[in-house]
Amino acid sequence: MRSRRSISDIVAVVLLIVIAIAAAVIIYMWLSGLIGSVHTSTSATQVKLEITGASVTWRSSNYSVNVTVYNPPDSPSTSITLGELEFTNGTMICSNNSVRPLSTTVTSTTVTPGGSATLTFSCSGSAAPTGTPVEVVLVTSQGVQVSYTTSITTIS
């Protein structure tokens, strides 16, 4: 009888050790996946791009948008990949993925830390009356969106 009881005690201890190891492996895998996803998105959370001014002009079925952006010194270099124009309720007016520098002194849409740039894009959409409030939205290569509210100016 004693030898059976000893064997069942040993089996019980081995099973507890296996369960503990399996639990440790599962927790490790969960934490490494969680930490990995936080690590990959830190560049997006560090982007602090600001729009300091914008103007929207409507002329002959086209919107012309000029945007001045500032990238604080503690933010990484940021590239603008998309410009959007929306009504303040979030309805899209138009968008353009060819945002370009307004002046020839800036050669790309990448804004370095501590730097600023004036960018422009144009897009077509339905006309809105002069003075209509709109939001200019810029999207960075990290997927961060920054917006600025201004109003439309019409040029005949």
Q: Is the pTM of this model over 0.85?
A: no
Residues of the chain above pLDDT 90, percent: 12
Is the pLDDT reported for residue 84 higher than 70?
Answer: yes
* pLDDT score of 4: 56
Average pLDDT in the 63-82 region? 86
Binned at pLDDT 50, 70 and 90, residue 6 comes out as confident
> Where do the structural domains in the chain lie, given as residue ranges?
2-40, 45-154
Q: Which residues contact 156 (CB under 8 A, 6 or more apart)?
A: 59
**Mean pLDDT score of the chain:** 81
CB 94 within 8 A of CB 125: yes
User: What topology is assigned to 45-154 in CATH?
Assistant: Immunoglobulin-like (2.60.40)
What are phi and psi for residue 153, nearest 5 degrees? -115, 135
The whole-number pLDDT of residue 44 equals 57
pLDDT, residue 94, reads 85
Count of CA atoms in the C-beta half-sphere (13 A) of 94? 18
Structure confidence at residue 130 (pLDDT): 87
Task: Indicate whether 64 pLDDT > 70.
Answer: yes
